[in-house]
Amino acid sequence: MRLESLKFAGPEEFKAELARLGVELPEGVSAAELLEYVQSPDFRVEVDDPDWLLLQSFSAEEDVLELLLERDWTLWVTDEDRGYFVTSDRPMVLMWNGPHPVGIQPGFAHRDTHVILPLTRRMLLYGSFDREGALLEADRGLVAVTNHVMVSTSDRFVYSTGELFPELSGGAERVSPGTDYARERMW
């Protein structure tokens, strides 16, 4: 529901959609208040029917896939001299492009986000709504920043094809050993 709510330009558009669906707002609740609540971290839906939840999870996957297809994709490539990309147990990373609401994690429908998805040690897909897709030769600094993001957003495991890889940490590039992953998570 939160994903769906992000597609509305504002409360008036949200109110019109509710009317189209035949949904009446409770007395004393405005469309703006409801929309703000649905988009807040406090919004929760509790359902006791596991079959319904399973069906809903598959329909959300279709929505996420459509949102991924709307992005412009750039293929980043690197070579031996510039290092290689690592990946993790969270191989697709969704991040804010700039300043964002405190406490709100980025969602696939947010237009001010980008997606990082390493394909191989030499290729990575970068998806954005505001940059034209292309082919980019990633320099060592870009590879290092991307590797830091992958390490920082992992749950438990980082996968590397070698024992050492470039990573940017604290504004300085370093070569990270494959066993040095006890770091604070990005979120």
pTM: 0.63
Q: Is 137 helix (H, G, I), strand (E, B) or coil?
A: strand
> What was the pLDDT predicted at 9?
81
Q: Provide φ and ψ at 146, rounded to 5°.
A: -60, -40
pLDDT tens string for the chain (187 positions)? 676 777 788 888 888 888 888 888 888 999 899 888 888 888 887 778 888 777 776 777 788 888 888 999 999 999 988 888 999 889 999 999 888 878 888 888 888 899 999 999 999 999 998 888 889 999 998 999 999 899 888 888 888 887 677 777 777 777 765 544 444 444 4
Q: Is 33 helix (H, G, I), strand (E, B) or coil?
A: helix
Residue 143: its H or E element: helix 140-153
Rounded distance, CA 11 to CA 35, Å? 7
> What was the pLDDT predicted at 181?
47
Q: Where are the domains of the chain?
A: 2-46, 72-177
In sequence order, the β-bridge partners of residue 164 are 177
Amino acid in the structure at residue 35: L
Rounded distance, CA 140 to CA 161, Å? 17
> What was the pLDDT predicted at 175?
73
> Which of 146, 170, 173 minimizes the C-alpha distance to 158?
146
> What was the pLDDT predicted at 116?
95
